[in-house]
Amino acid sequence: MDLAYQLGEVAVSDVHERLADAPSYSAVRALMGTLVEKGHLSHRQAGRRYVYAPTVAAGDASASALKRLVETFFGGSSARAAMALVSEPGLGSDELAALEAAIARAKEQGA
């Protein structure tokens, strides 16, 4: 999906060539077919090959995936998910400041 978002449209060969440690070409083709079936990609025929494109904007897809992740692993609690993320080492001072500002804005808005 990342490649489809980056390039706009991709063929199976585009994805296969750009994946590090790529599975077989047929496995990539099968995965893309599954993404079409699930509604994440659309496809059209261009000559002898199919060209795939995302059906949902990247921001909308990431928000939906994050919501599912929070529901699945954190019992629907955004606070528990955020605490798990900030307890991991490696957050820089800029990232911490951005998080603090986001929390302050949420408090002001009554969220």
17 and 31 both lie in a single domain: yes
pLDDT confidence of residue 91: 87
79 and 40 both lie in a single domain: no
Domain count, the chain: 2
Q: Which residue has the tokens 């509604």?
A: 39
Counting as low any pLDDT under 70, the low residues of the chain are 111
Q: What is the dihedral of CA 71, 75, 81, 84, to 10 degrees?
A: -140
pLDDT confidence of residue 48: 92
79 and 43 both lie in a single domain: no
The domain of 63 spans: 58-108
62 and 30 both lie in a single domain: no
CATH code of the domain covering residue 43: 1.10.10.10
How far apart CA 69 and CA 84 sit, in angstroms, is 13
48 and 64 both lie in a single domain: no
48 and 84 both lie in a single domain: no
Cα 71 to Cα 3, 76, 106: the distances in Å are 26, 4, 20
pLDDT confidence of residue 111: 61
- Residues making up the chain, counted from first to last: 111
pLDDT confidence of residue 33: 95
3-state SS of the chain is CHHHHHHCCECHHHHHHHCCCCCCHHHHHHHHHHHHHCCCEEEEEECCEEEEEECCCHHHHHHHHHHHHHHHHCCCCHHHHHHHHHCCCCCCHHHHHHHHHHHHHHHHCCC
40 and 70 both lie in a single domain: no
7 and 46 both lie in a single domain: yes
